[in-house]
Structures are given as C-alpha cells and as structure tokens.
Amino acid sequence: MGKLSPLASASATRAVLEAHGLTAKYSLGQNFLVNDAILQKIVALAEVAPVDTVLEVGPGIGTLTMALLQHAGRVVSVERDPDLPAVLAETLAPWADRFALVQKDALDLTVDDLRDALGRLDPPETAPGKLVANLPYAVAATVVLDYFERFPSLGSATVMVQKEVADRMAAVPGTKNYGAYTVKLRLYAEPAGRFGVGPGNFFPPPRVESAVLRLDRRPLHGEDGAPLAASTLKAAATMADAAFANRRKTLSNSCKTYFASRGVQGARIAAALPQLLEQAAVDPKIRGEALALEDFIRLGTALEALGA
C-alpha cells in the first residue's frame, strides 16, 4: 500500500499549521498523527470500503480524513476549532465532492446536523455507518458511548484513545478496569480489535500512551428473542452506576447508597432492593465487578418492573 497522506509527518504538519498562522492547541487536545503506517493500520482495522459513509470527530488538518477519503465513499467530519475549516478546505480540496464538514462541538452533534451535511453531497447520503477518528482524549469515552446510544446507523467505531480509556472500554468482569462505563458501552458494542500507538507518532507528542480500538455494534435481545427496548438498556445502565457507586461495598450496599441519595423515587427503589435483586437472581453479597452483562440486563429488567 502506498502512502495514504502526505500530511503524515511532523515537518508537513508543522508547515501546514505555520502557513495558516496556527499552532497545536493544548486546550483542545490537538495532537496530530504523523505516521502514515498508523493511518494504514487504522483504515485496515476499520475495514473502510467504498460503500461506507464514515463519521470522523476532530479531523485537525485532515491527515486521517485524507486517508479515509481514499477508501470510503463519503466522509463527514465534526470540528469545533474555528481556525481549521479553512485549512481543511485547502488540504481536502481534491475530495470536496465527497467530504462534508460540521463546524460544531462533537458532544452537541445531532442527527439533523449529519443529515444536513451529507445532504450537500452528490448523491446525498443520510447517515454514517462507521465512526473512525483520532478522538480528543478529554471527551473520547463520552463521545463513543453517546454516539452508539444516539446514532443507530453506526455499526462500528474505530477510535484512537488514551490507553487507559481503551482498557476500560475492553475490560472484562473481575478486572480493575471493569466498571460502570464498561457495562454501559457493552450494552451497545463489543471490542473487535486493538493495537497500541506510542507518543512519538504524534505532533506534538502527548504525555500518554494511546491505543486504537475497534468496537462493533452488537444488538442485545431478551429471552423472547426480541431486541431489548431502549428503556431496558437505560435501566441496565442505571443499575451499573448503582453497582459501582462504591466498588468496595457489596452490590446491595452500593445500590442502597446510590438510590438513597436520589430523592423520593430513589428512596422507594432503595427500600425495594431485596425484592429487585431476588427477581434478578443476583447475589446481593457480591460486588459489581463480578457481574456479567447478562446480570445487569436482568437487574435493569427488574428495575423497570418497579416502574422506576
């Protein structure tokens, strides 16, 4: 495979920034990828193909975007830095007919934003099927879970994140990285591949190790074979928060602490915890980290049955 992006070097990245009077902004977590071999591994892990419409968060100067556009049918990127659209218009000019930009904070992105941006392309597209991004580390975990929840068209996410965040995303029960976030993410997707990326692959180099992780959407079904309702997933997520409210406490005590601090409704749930745990067939004396995803789904179903 030939080089995917002429921007994938420290000298080229520095030259583009200087030409526009810019520098990397620490406040926005800007660490630009400068190794083309890593780009190739990202595209390969994501299995980007001409039929794909790809969503990217934080395109920067277009280094990864350029690589994606050489494999995908269309790319829509979300960028909050007001200085970068002018840079992207220049670096991605050869692909202007297949590239759309949303100038917005990624956490505020809506379905309508995507529809409007992709509708400007010819032929128009309505929704992306894959998220592929070198994510700003401060919001990476939030973005991934939020997008799986809100954008049902996304079948996978292949994302560059801080190594510790990747560890949480891919953790299994009984390990120190397994927590409420892991459970909530697993309600939507499961890990499907990973590789590490050192600080020297970025300009400027971050002070942390990074990893690229692929997550594939995995719809969950109930005992009747029907897809779990959004309300059940929400209830299971609430039980995950409750179970890990205090990792040192038993499931029963951690949940009691969590719900007792949440007003009248929470107090009602706290009082009914023995019945809830019995209905879910979960031992109240174990800790949250010992519970599998199926346990949290049963807990969520039991919580729903309380009318919570």
Q: Which helix (H) or strand (E) holds 157?
A: strand 156-162
Residue 24 has pLDDT above 90, yes or no: no
Q: Could you tell me what percentage of the chain is helix, strand and coil, using 3-state DSSP and rounding each to the nearest 5?
A: 45, 15, 40
pLDDT, one tens digit per residue, over 77-125 is 999 999 999 999 999 999 999 999 999 999 999 999 999 999 998 788 8
Residue 225 has pLDDT above 90, yes or no: no
pLDDT, one tens digit per residue, over 259-269 is 999 999 999 99
With a pLDDT cut of 70, the percent of the chain lying above it is 99
User: Which of 257, 271, 254, 253 is CA-nearest to residue 308?
Assistant: 271
When pLDDT is cut at 50, 70 and 90, the band that residue 1 belongs to is low
Mean pLDDT of the chain, nearest integer: 94
Nearest-10 crossing angle of helices 140-150, 163-170: 40
pLDDT for the residue 83: 94
- Within 10 angstroms of residue 208's Cβ, the number of other Cβ atoms is 14
Cα–Cα dist 248/259, whole Å: 17
**CATH architecture assigned to 10-217:** 3-Layer(aba) Sandwich (3.40)
Q: The domain 230-306 belongs to what CATH superfamily? A: rRNA adenine dimethylase, C-terminal domain (1.10.8.100)
Cα–Cα dist 74/275, whole Å: 51
- Cβ contact 162:142 at 8 Å: no
pLDDT for the residue 308: 63
In the predicted model, what is the mean pLDDT of residues 39-59? 97
pLDDT for the residue 130: 98
Residue 237 has pLDDT above 70, yes or no: yes
Specify the range with the lowest mean pLDDT, choosing from 27-31, 117-121, 181-185, 196-200.
Answer: 27-31
Q: Give the angle subtended at the CA of 222 by the CAs of 47 and 144, to the nearest 5°.
A: 35
- The annotation places the binding site for S-adenosyl-L-methionine at 31, 33, 58, 79, 105, 134
Tell me: cis bond preceding 204? Omega within 30 of 0 counts: yes
With a pLDDT cut of 90, the percent of the chain lying above it is 88
pLDDT, one tens digit per residue, over 240-297 is 999 999 989 999 999 999 999 999 999 999 999 999 999 999 999 999 999 999 999 9
Residue 43 has pLDDT above 80, yes or no: yes
Cα–Cα dist 161/184, whole Å: 18
Rg for the chain, CA atoms, rounded: 21
In the predicted model, what is the mean pLDDT of residues 13-24? 92
- The annotation places the binding site at 31, 33, 58, 79, 105, 134
* Every domain of the chain and the residues it spans: 10-217, 230-306
